[in-house]
């Protein structure tokens, strides 16, 4: 079927409508953040109103949410920078190991991904307190790196197993050590996949709530926890929460837009299974 | 035979236009394909020289394994250990009761109804996500221009922090002045109580999950659809196949492993979903939307019964494992006739 | 070009992370003046006080963590139960402090109270309030606010219809029915599972029923009178705003402010929000009376000193005493009822705030919730069952019986009924 203009056009309209519908909660959240409460919750909904950015100013400057943003960024970036290398190394190792032990390990990783978070939250707190690590960046980063391993190892392994055997054979014939095999042969090929893994690890670390609630304190509080603190008791808090909610999305959106190209390459490569 | 765990490429790939994709495909496919066939040599040939290197490869696993053991195995052990105690944070009681917590849970109506409710919500959510995702992905697949921008927009709900997403949804679904209700009211339609009516609350919770995770489905499925061999499709079209046939008779079967993978992931995650429900209904009204996770949370943080909550967590883990195993088996069986293994 | 950019990004990022990680060790290594750590709930009056607490003692830095009540209770419980030294002052209500006191997690204040009585004029604090903050004869909490519920109603609508504010619950029901219309509900109901349900049902259970527990703390709310009370609560939900089972205080306030309901019980601290043009469509149209038949919830809260804190107890006491001295408390008077007698009887305040007179009467007729440490834990299940009964998922009688069974089992587990 050659793409007929009418079909393409209708399809585009339909998908755009779907995308717009999908975005409604976000758009409405944004509108709520620039309205006074009296307008934000009016019945029927108000489209015409006087916008105010006072809540954005209040939450980011007066209530110092920029500090929490910094914490979130430090923790997420730190998590990705540590998690990705060690997961990639593990994935490489797993992809090269033929033993059934490696299959068992893989299955074990899958099981770990099933852990209900709540189950781990209290032991984490006890452990963190014992080692006096509550309210430090290391506690959060350590926890998040470990939690992130199963998914990332899986993901990277699936890129690694695509690498043809001869490449390794010719490398070892050339006298490469295993580490060189990893760095010079395998890594360059899966580089695009690294970006995909980075994006998902970043998302995971950035949006994490439950463990952040338990492991962070006033110095290291992250954005999701900070937002949850504006839950109730005064309508103004909701406008503030809305302003914070919009702001929290921006870094990730920017990250994705800036690194579009790398992501495309990674996903295009990974998608080739033909 | 080496299994094929296909990459979860939640990808913007296909959406970035078919052209670059085909280019890449042509460049890499053939040698890669050939190489793959070679790589599938019987294990005996492949690892005779490898066995001596095995321990070196195992070293690569070192850091991860150490970290995982410290950070995940220990807490799991602690939780298992706690589940054998009557450990009450509120009064400091800490006495060994063996499997009593489990016995209490198995004979508790609240546990079973939470379990059933969780299964219901997960099934509805994941099934809807899959079909909506599939249709939208197919639509994006067919789109020649504009697919990239659209899929980026569609991905947005997925990157919103779950806590924030639940807040946004609350403002949509809140009775009377939430966006949805107030819109309907201005047309003189009086909507049901989305969050307050027991059945509608469950519906809203499912919708919340769909909103957040369909983008993930869309992207994975789109990437999957993009890997389908064009020749097969051309041949079918020449035979006069319509969209339905193309999609369900040809494309879906050929990307079955990736579909299976994403379904298993979604089922596992949906079972543990927490933030959404917590902000939207807090498990209410009454216990209408109380899932296993909500019940565990309530037991641990409100009733402060750590022992019982740990037991609940362990049971949840076991149940998720069983469900995952069942799903994998079922999906494997469904694909047996197509000659592709799932795991 | 590309590799360079990426490498730079990676380098920059790793520098940020390492330096941040290193600086985060600093607090552990060199503690010059360790800040006082406070865990607190969050609502307007507390935010005002937070500011005062921070400025209370000049060379003692204070860090407050504020979050919604539920969350704060969880965090405080976890911190105290694990004997954490990282918390110095914690927020508590007249119910929650009992758990803390029972377990020895907070420090009695009697000695410090006597020591600083003169300096901070502590005699001025109302006895009624102090009584509620005593456990086992000892005082544990420095009172900050008194909160009670009273009755909001739309004077303009009432005048138009020639109606009088209700004096009995039956009158309240009749009025709610009368003013109920598709676009504007007769009344608000805040029946979100948890605290909200407990507050609303407390009123009915006290006024129409016979209370929650008998003197031995066995549940009695599932007996006939209790069932009647809850049936009455169920009856009035017919005239409540849609979405009431997911409505906590905020949502109910929005309903009142957006002209979506005509009357209902709410907290005195929210009265002024009705007259804020940035929040309310119905400025000046509301008036207040005490809850018909009394029995509304009275809640008091304040701050306690953790038993595990490493800070000087005197200093901690000075901080909370300064924050609640007469001058500071006056500033909060618009947001809650002050525990200090001088302010309670201040004619200037009565003149300034329209709702004050009604609030004062409500203080007399209200009643606190059962004063047992396990109230919130037990209340969590009770509230769920009540909602089930009210929404018709089970009958009210069954719901209350299940709740009573669960409550009794829970309390027995905690060591009640031993004699």
Q: Is the pLDDT of residue C309 over 50?
A: yes
C390 shares its domain with C251: yes
- DSSP three-state, residue A164: coil
Contact A270 B75 (CB under 8 A): no
Q: What are the structure tokens assigned to C233, written together?
A: 């609560």
In this predicted structure, what is the pLDDT of residue B206? Answer: 93
What is the helix (H) or strand (E) element at residue C78, kind and residue range?
helix C69-81
Q: Is the pLDDT of residue A148 over 80?
A: yes
What average pLDDT score do residues B217-221 get? 85
The reply to whether C10 falls in a domain is no
- Please give the backbone phi and psi of residue B126, each rounded to the nearest 5 degrees, phi first: -65, -40
- DSSP-derived pairing of the beta strands C134-135 and C142-154: unpaired
Give how far C242 is from chain B: nearest CA, Å.
5
For chain B, helix (H) and strand (E) counts, in that order, are 18, 2
Q: Predicted confidence band at B40 (pLDDT cuts at 50, 70, 90)?
A: very low
What average pLDDT score do residues C127-135 get? 87
C238 shares its domain with C386: yes
Cα–Cα distance, A126 to B79 (Å, whole number):
11
The reply to whether C28 falls in a domain is no
- Please give the backbone phi and psi of residue C298, each rounded to the nearest 5 degrees, phi first: -110, 130
Give the pLDDT confidence of B97-155 residue by residue, as tens digits: 888 889 989 998 889 999 999 999 999 999 999 999 999 988 888 887 777 778 888 88
Residue with token string 């079209």: B237
Average pLDDT, whole number, for chain C?
Answer: 85
Partner A contacted by C12 (CB < 8 A): no
Contact B7 A25 (CB under 8 A): no
In this predicted structure, what is the pLDDT of residue B65? Answer: 86
Residue-by-residue DSSP string for C89-157: EEEEETTHHHHHHHTT-B---HHHHHHHHHHHTGGGB-HHHHHHTEETTEE--EEEEEEEEEEEEEHHH
Q: Chain A residue closest to B299 (CA)? A: A118
Q: Is C341 exposed, middle or buried (0-12, 13-18, 19+ CB in 10 A)?
A: middle
- Provide, rounded to the nearest whole percent, the portion of chain B with pLDDT above 70: 82
C66 shares its domain with C209: no
- Name the pTM for this structure: 0.79
**CB contact at 8 A, B289 and B277:** yes
Give how far A184 is from chain B: nearest CA, Å.
15
C314 shares its domain with C397: no
In total, how many domains does chain C have?
2
In this predicted structure, what is the pLDDT of residue A256? Answer: 78
Q: What are the structure tokens assigned to C188, written together?
A: 């608000």
Cα–Cα distance, A199 to A205 (Å, whole number):
10
Q: How many C-beta atoms surround the C-beta of residue C281 within 10 A?
A: 17
Going by C-alpha positions, the residue among C316, C319, C300, C296 that lies closest to residue C308 is: C316
Q: How many C-beta atoms surround the C-beta of residue C315 within 10 A?
A: 14
C112 shares its domain with C234: no
Residue with token string 């669960």: C406
Cα–Cα distance, C235 to C233 (Å, whole number):
5
Contact C279 A137 (CB under 8 A): no
Peptide bond into B75 cis (omega under 30): no
Q: Which of B86, B91, B282 is opposite residue C103, by nearest beta carbon?
A: B91
C65 shares its domain with C108: yes
Q: Which of C183, C387, C414 is opposite residue B286, by nearest beta carbon?
A: C387
Q: Is the pLDDT of residue B202 over 60?
A: yes
C59 shares its domain with C140: yes
Residue C213 belongs to domain spanning: 149-297+370-413
B 288-327 residues inside an 8 A Cβ radius of A: 292-293, 296-297, 300, 306, 309-310, 313-314, 316-317, 320-321, 324
**CB contact at 8 A, B16 and B141:** no
Q: Which residues pair with C92 in a beta bridge?
A: C302
C62 shares its domain with C78: yes
The reply to whether B261 falls in a domain is yes
In this predicted structure, what is the pLDDT of residue C326? Answer: 87
Residue-by-residue DSSP string for B142-156: H--SSHHHHHHHHHH
Nearest-Å Rg of the Cα atoms of chain C is 24
Contacts for B216 with CB less than 8 Å, ≥ 6 apart:
B10, B133, B158, B262, B266
Q: Chain A residue closest to C46 (CA)? A: A233
Q: Give how far Cα C191 sits from Cα of B170, B186, B195, C170, Å.
A: 16, 26, 12, 20
The reply to whether B97 falls in a domain is no
Contact A36 C260 (CB under 8 A): no
Q: Is the pLDDT of residue A107 over 60?
A: yes
**CB contact at 8 A, B288 and B198:** yes
Contacts for C238 with CB less than 8 Å, ≥ 6 apart:
C177, C180
Q: Is the pLDDT of residue C27 over 70?
A: no
Contacts of C10 in chain A (CB under 8 A): 81
**CB contact at 8 A, C210 and C203:** no
C220 shares its domain with C185: yes
C348 shares its domain with C260: no
Chain A with chain C: Cβ pairs closer than 8 A: 107
What average pLDDT score do residues C166-186 get? 91
Instruction: Give which of A41, A75, A132, A241 to mutate to test C binding, by max C Cβ within 10 Å.
Output: A41
Q: How many C-beta atoms surround the C-beta of residue C104 within 10 A?
A: 12
CA dihedral (B336, B338, B339, B341) positive or negative? negative
Outline where A58-164 has alpha helix (H): 65-96, 100-113, 117-130, 137-160
C141 shares its domain with C155: no
In this predicted structure, what is the pLDDT of residue B58? Answer: 80
Q: How many C-beta atoms surround the C-beta of residue C83 within 10 A?
A: 13
Cα–Cα distance, B51 to B57 (Å, whole number):
10
Q: Is B30 exposed, middle or buried (0-12, 13-18, 19+ CB in 10 A)?
A: exposed
Domain holding C134: CATH number? 3.40.190.10
Cα–Cα distance, A161 to A179 (Å, whole number):
17
Contacts of A223 in chain C (CB under 8 A): none
Residue B141 belongs to domain spanning: 14-48+102-336
- DSSP three-state, residue A52: coil
Outline where B187-285 has alpha helix (H): 198-226, 230-238, 243-245, 252-254, 256-271, 275-280
Cα–Cα distance, C61 to A186 (Å, whole number):
53
**CB contact at 8 A, A267 and B13:** yes
Touching subunits of C (3+ CB pairs, under 8 Å) are A, B
C114 shares its domain with C222: no
Domain holding B38: CATH number? 1.10.3720.10
The reply to whether B301 falls in a domain is yes
SS3 content of chain A, % helix, strand, coil (to 5): 80, 0, 20
The reply to whether B129 falls in a domain is yes
Contacts of A147 in chain B (CB under 8 A): 71-72
- DSSP-derived pairing of the beta strands C263-267 and C142-154: antiparallel
Q: Chain C residue closest to A234 (CA)? A: C250
The reply to whether B342 falls in a domain is no
Q: DSSP assignment, residue B248?
A: I
Q: Is the pLDDT of residue B268 over 90?
A: no
Q: Predicted confidence band at C20 (pLDDT cuts at 50, 70, 90)?
A: low
The reply to whether C31 falls in a domain is no
The reply to whether C11 falls in a domain is no
Q: How many C-beta atoms surround the C-beta of residue B308 within 10 A?
A: 26
ipTM at complex level: 0.80
**CB contact at 8 A, A273 and B6:** yes
In total, how many domains does chain B have?
1
What is the set of domains in chain A, with CATH numbers?
Answer: 64-221+252-271 (1.10.3720.10)
Largest separation between any pair of C-alpha atoms in chain B: 77
The reply to whether C227 falls in a domain is yes
């Amino acid at each position: 079927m050659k793409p007929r203009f009418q079909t393409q056009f209708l399809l585009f309209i339909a998908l755009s409508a779907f995308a717009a519908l999908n975005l409604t909660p976000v758009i409405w959240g944004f509108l709520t953040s620039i309205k006074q409460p009296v307008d934000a919750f009016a019945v029927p909904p108000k489209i015409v109103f006087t916008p105010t950015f006072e809540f954005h100013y209040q939450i980011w400057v007066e209530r110092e949410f920029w500090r929490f943003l910094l914490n979130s960024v430090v923790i997420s970036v730190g998590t990705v920078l540590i998690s990705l290398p060690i997961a990639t190394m593990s994935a490489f190792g797993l992809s090269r190991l033929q033993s059934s032990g490696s299959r068992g390990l893989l299955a074990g990783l899958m099981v770990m991904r099933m852990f209900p978070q709540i189950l781990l939250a209290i032991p984490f707190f006890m452990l963190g307190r014992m080692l006096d690590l509550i309210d430090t960046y290391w506690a959060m980063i350590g926890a998040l790196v470990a939690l992130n391993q199963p998914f990332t190892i899986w993901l990277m392994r699936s890129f690694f197993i695509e690498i043809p055997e001869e490449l390794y054979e010719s490398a070892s014939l050339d006298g490469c050590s295993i580490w060189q095999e990893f760095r010079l042969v395998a890594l360059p090929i899966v580089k695009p996949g690294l970006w995909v893994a980075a994006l998902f690890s970043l998302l995971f670390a950035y949006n994490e709530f439950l463990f952040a609630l338990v492991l962070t304190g006033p110095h290291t509080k992250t954005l999701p926890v900070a937002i949850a603190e504006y839950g109730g008791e005064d309508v103004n808090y909701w406008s503030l929460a809305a302003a914070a909610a919009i702001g929290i999305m921006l870094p990730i959106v920017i990250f994705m837009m800036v690194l579009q190209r790398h992501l495309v390459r990674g996903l295009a490569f990974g998608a080739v299974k033909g | 035979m080496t299994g094929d765990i296909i990459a979860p490429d939640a990808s913007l790939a296909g959406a970035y236009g078919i052209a670059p994709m085909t280019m890449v495909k042509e460049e890499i496919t053939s040698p890669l394909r050939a190489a793959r066939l070679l790589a599938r040599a019987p294990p005996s040939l492949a690892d005779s020289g490898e066995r001596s290197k095995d321990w070196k490869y195992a070293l690569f696993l070192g850091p991860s394994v150490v970290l995982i053991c410290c950070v995940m195995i220990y807490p799991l052990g602690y939780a298992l250990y706690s589940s054998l105690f009557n450990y009450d944070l509120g009064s400091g009681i800490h006495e060994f009761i063996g499997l009593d917590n489990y016995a209490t849970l198995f004979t508790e109506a609240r546990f079973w109804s939470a379990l059933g409710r969780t299964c219901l919500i997960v099934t509805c959510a994941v099934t809807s996500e899959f079909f909506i995702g599939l249709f939208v992905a197919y639509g994006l697949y067919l789109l020649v221009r504009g697919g990239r921008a659209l899929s980026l927009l569609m991905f947005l709900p997925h990157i919103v922090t779950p806590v924030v997403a639940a807040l946004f949804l609350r403002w949509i679904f809140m009775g009377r002045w939430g966006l949805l209700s107030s819109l309907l009211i201005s047309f003189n339609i009086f909507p049901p109580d989305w969050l307050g009516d027991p059945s509608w609350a469950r519906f809203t919770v499912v919708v919340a999950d769909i909103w957040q995770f369909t983008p993930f489905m869309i992207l994975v499925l789109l990437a999957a659809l993009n890997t389908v061999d064009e020749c097969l499709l051309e041949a079918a079209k020449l035979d006069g196949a319509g969209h339905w046939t193309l999609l369900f008779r040809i494309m879906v079967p050929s990307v079955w492993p990736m579909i299976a993978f994403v379904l298993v992931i979604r089922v596992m995650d949906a079972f543990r979903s927490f933030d959404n429900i917590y902000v939207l209904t807090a498990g209410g009204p009454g216990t209408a939307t109380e899932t296993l996770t909500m019940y565990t949370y309530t037991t641990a943080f409100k009733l402060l019964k750590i022992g019982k909550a740990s037991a609940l967590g362990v049971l949840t883990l076991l149940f998720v494992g069983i469900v995952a195993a069942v799903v994998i088996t079922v999906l494997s069986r469904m694909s047996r006739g197509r000659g592709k293994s799932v795991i | 070009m590309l590799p360079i950019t990426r490498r730079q990004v990676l380098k920059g990022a790793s520098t940020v992370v390492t330096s941040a990680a290193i600086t985060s060790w600093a607090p552990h290594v060199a503690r010059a003046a360790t800040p006082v750590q406070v865990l607190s709930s969050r609502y307007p009056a507390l935010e005002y006080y937070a500011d005062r607490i921070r400025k209370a003692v000049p060379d003692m830095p204070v860090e407050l963590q504020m979050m919604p009540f539920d969350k704060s209770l969880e965090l405080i419980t976890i911190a105290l139960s694990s004997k954490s030294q990282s918390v110095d002052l914690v927020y508590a209500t007249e119910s929650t402090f009992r758990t803390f006191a029972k377990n020895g997690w907070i420090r009695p204040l009697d000695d410090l109270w006597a020591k600083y009585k003169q300096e901070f004029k502590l005699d001025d604090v109302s006895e009624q309030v102090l009584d509620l903050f005593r456990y086992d004869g000892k005082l544990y909490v420095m009172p900050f606010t008194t909160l009670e519920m009273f009755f909001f109603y739309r004077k303009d609508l009432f005048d138009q219809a020639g109606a009088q504010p209700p004096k009995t619950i039956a009158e309240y029901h009749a009025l709610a029915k009368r003013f109920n219309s598709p676009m504007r509900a007769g009344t608000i109901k805040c029946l979100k599972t948890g605290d909200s349900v407990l507050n609303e049902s407390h009123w009915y259970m006290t006024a129409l029923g016979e209370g929650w527990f008998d003197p031995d703390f066995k549940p009695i709310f599932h007996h006939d009178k209790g069932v009647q009370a809850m049936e009455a609560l169920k009856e009035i939900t017919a005239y409540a705003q849609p979405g009431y089972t997911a409505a906590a205080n905020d949502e109910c306030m929005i309903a009142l402010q957006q002209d979506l309901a005509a009357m209902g019980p709410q907290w005195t601290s929210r009265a002024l929000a009705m007259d804020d043009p940035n929040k309310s469509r119905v400025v000046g149209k509301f008036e207040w009376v005490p809850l018909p038949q009394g029995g509304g919830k009275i809640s008091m809260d304040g701050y306690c000193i953790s038993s595990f804190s490493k800070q000087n107890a005197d200093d901690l006491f000075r901080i909370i005493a300064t924050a609640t001295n007469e001058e500071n408390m006056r500033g909060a008077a618009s947001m809650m009822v002050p525990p200090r007698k001088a302010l309670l009887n201040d004619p200037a305040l009565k003149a300034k705030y329209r709702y004050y007179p009604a609030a004062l009467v409500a203080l007399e007729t209200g009643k606190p919730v059962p004063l047992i440490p396990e109230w919130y834990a037990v209340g969590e299940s009770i509230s769920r069952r009540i909602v089930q009964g009210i929404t018709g998922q089970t009958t009210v009688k069954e719901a209350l019986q299940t709740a009573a069974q669960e409550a009794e089992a829970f309390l027995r587990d905690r060591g009640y009924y031993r004699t």
